[in-house]
């Protein structure tokens, strides 16, 4: 398969390009707005052609699939352009910056009859997949409560445009928070939300402070450092979300999902399962679980999907996800 890459920054060069190459796909072209960055990536991976615009790459190349690895506010336009050119698309998370955009992307995938996947790599971890299989086998019963935590003590990224609301759409929620929100929803079977109460705030990011992920400019910090929510679903279940770029908490970085079901509960990460049987309470942890590189599985899953009938499920889930994020931001 011939692959093109849009955006050659951190995630493209650390995950997408090397994993396509490892999977035996041909990364034939890259595009980056800053041409030197595109050229540097092409040199690093031996990629033949570099473009400065999406249009030029799509016009001049015969591509089967494209990865979109640019700032969040650019995803929609670039994904739709690639789909319209007949490419299957793997777009980094978050899918978009609003439900309206996610819907346009889904409609474009359907119109082009091409697969649209999103870069939620936590789904592809072996512990997540084990838990998913246990849930589908009914081990936890009806899942009625979930908690998704994405809490950093001092974790504002000091590179890229992660503090720019216009280019990223948001901070603690749309950047790393969305990974745990998606994961909880994925494990719950993506129930439809009916009520959302959100709390968004800037408390620490707009003043100088310790940075454990580099330094940022508090004067231009325009995203939320705090995002919290309670979501109620059509099926009666509820979810609590708590995310921060910076918060006065003990642990440096917590990425965690907790699920409660009528037959059992579970937490990730690491995986623990809690049940009751024979008048006793059990805590289970896997004694052995094969480690997989979730980015490698993500790319292979996408490449495999490109060989089958087009898939729109992730596009549909993205609309639900962003319906929730819109409501947390108070924008719906
Ligand atoms: N799955 C994950 O865990 C994960 C991790 C990091 C980033 N991401 C996502 O990947 C995306 C990119 O993040 P990153 O960390 O690679 O950022 P980055 O800043 O390292 O790279 C972004 C790249 O996009 C380029 N760019 C900017 N505007 C462009 C345009 N109009 N057209 C083409 N290229 C343009 C920049 O020059 C840069 O090379 C974001 O959506 C982010 O949320 C996902």
Q: If you measure from the C-alpha of residue 281 to the centroid of ligand 1, how many angstroms do you get, rounded to a whole number?
A: 46
Closest protein CA for atom 30 of ligand 1: 33
Whose C-alpha lies nearest to ligand 1, atom 21? 9
Element (H, E) at 320: helix 313-329
Q: Residue 36: how many CB atoms within 10 A of its CB?
A: 9
Protein fold of 126-291: Dihydrodipicolinate Reductase; domain 2 (3.30.360)
174, burial (CB in 10 Å: exposed 0-12, middle 13-18, buried 19+): buried
Atom of ligand 1 minimally distant from the CA of 161: 19
Per-residue confidence in pLDDT tens, the chain, 332 aa = 999 999 999 999 999 999 999 999 999 999 999 999 999 999 999 999 999 999 999 999 999 999 999 999 999 999 999 999 999 999 999 999 999 999 999 999 999 999 999 999 999 999 999 999 999 999 999 999 999 999 999 999 999 999 999 999 999 999 999 999 999 999 999 999 999 999 999 999 999 999 999 999 999 999 999 999 999 999 999 999 999 999 999 999 999 999 999 999 999 999 999 999 999 999 999 999 999 999 999 999 999 999 999 999 999 999 999 999 999 999 86
Closest CA to 4 of 37, 50, 70: 50
Distance 2 CA to ligand 1 centre (A): 21
Going from N- to C-terminal start, the domains of the chain cover: 2-120+296-310, 126-291
86: left (phi over 0), alpha (psi -120 to 50) or beta: left
Ligand 1 atom closest to Cα of 175?
43
| C-alpha closest to that of 17 among 59, 61, 56, 50 | 50
Please name the residue whose Cα sits nearest to atom 28 of ligand 1.
33
231, with CB counted inside 10 A (0-12, 13-18, 19+), is buried
Rounded to 10 degrees, what is the CA torsion of 25, 31, 34, 40?
30
Instruction: Using a cut of 0.95, tell me whether the model's pTM lies above it.
Output: yes
- Residue 297: Cβ-neighbour burial (10 angstroms; 0-12, 13-18, 19+): middle
**What are the angstrom distances between the C-alpha of 129 and each of 156, 270, 302, 313?**
29, 13, 16, 17
Are 124 and 118 in contact by the 8 Å Cβ rule? The answer is no
Structure tokens at 199: 């709390």
| Ligand 1, CB within 6 Å, residue ranges | 6-12, 31-34, 37, 69-72, 74, 92-93, 119, 121, 160, 175
Mention every residue, 6+ apart, whose C-beta is less than 8 A from residue 75.
68, 91, 92, 94, 95, 96, 97, 101, 105
Q: CA angle, 291 as apex, 136 and 96 as ends, to 5°? A: 65
**Structure confidence at residue 331 (pLDDT):** 81
3-state secondary structure of 195: strand
Q: Whose CA is nearest to atom 6 of ligand 1?
A: 11
Burial class, 292, CB count within 10 angstroms (exposed 0-12 / middle 13-18 / buried 19+): middle
Which of 17, 90, 92 to probe ligand 1 with, by most ligand atoms within 8 A of CB?
A: 92
pLDDT of residue 332: 64
Identify the three-state secondary structure at position 53. Answer: coil
Residue nearest atom 7 in ligand 1 by C-alpha distance = 11
Pick the CATH number of 2-120+296-310 from 3.90.550.10, 3.40.630.10, 3.50.50.60, 3.40.50.720: 3.40.50.720
């Amino acid at each position: 398969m011939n692959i093109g890459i849009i955006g050659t920054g951190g995630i493209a060069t650390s995950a997408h390009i090397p994993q396509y190459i490892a999977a035996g796909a041909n990364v034939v072209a890259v595009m980056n707005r800053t041409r030197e960055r595109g050229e540097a990536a092409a040199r690093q991976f031996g990629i033949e052609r570099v473009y400065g615009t999406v249009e030029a790459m799509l016009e001049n190349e015969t591509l089967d699939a494209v990865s979109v690895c640019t700032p969040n506010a650019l995803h929609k336009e670039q994904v739709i352009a690639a789909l319209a050119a007949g490419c299957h698309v793997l777009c980094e998370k978050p899918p978009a910056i609003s439900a309206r955009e996610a819907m346009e992307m889904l409609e474009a995938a359907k119109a082009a009859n091409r697969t649209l996947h999103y870069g939620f790599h936590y789904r592809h971890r072996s512990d997540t997949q084990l838990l998913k299989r246990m849930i589908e086998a009914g081990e936890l019963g009806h899942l009625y409560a979930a908690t998704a935590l994405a809490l950093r003590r001092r974790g504002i990224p000091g590179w890229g445009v992660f503090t720019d609301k216009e280019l990223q759409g948001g901070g603690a929620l749309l950047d790393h928070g969305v990974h745990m929100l998606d994961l909880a929803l994925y494990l719950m079977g993506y129930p439809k939300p009916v009520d959302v109460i959100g709390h968004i705030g800037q408390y620490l990011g707009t003043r100088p402070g310790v940075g454990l992920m580099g330094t940022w400019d508090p004067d231009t910090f325009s995203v939320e450092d705090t995002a919290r929510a309670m979501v109620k679903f059509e099926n009666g279940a509820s979810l609590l979300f708590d995310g921060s770029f910076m918060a006065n908490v003990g642990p440096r970085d917590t990425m965690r999902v907790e699920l409660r079901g009528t037959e059992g509960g579970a937490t990730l990460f690491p995986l623990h399962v809690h049940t009751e049987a024979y008048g006793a309470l059990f805590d289970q942890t896997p004694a052995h679980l094969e480690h997989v590189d979730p980015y490698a599985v993500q790319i292979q899953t996408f490449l495999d999907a490109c060989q089958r009938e087009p898939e729109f499920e992730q596009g549909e889930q993205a609309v639900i996800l962003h319906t929730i994020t819109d409501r947390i931001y108070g924008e719906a």
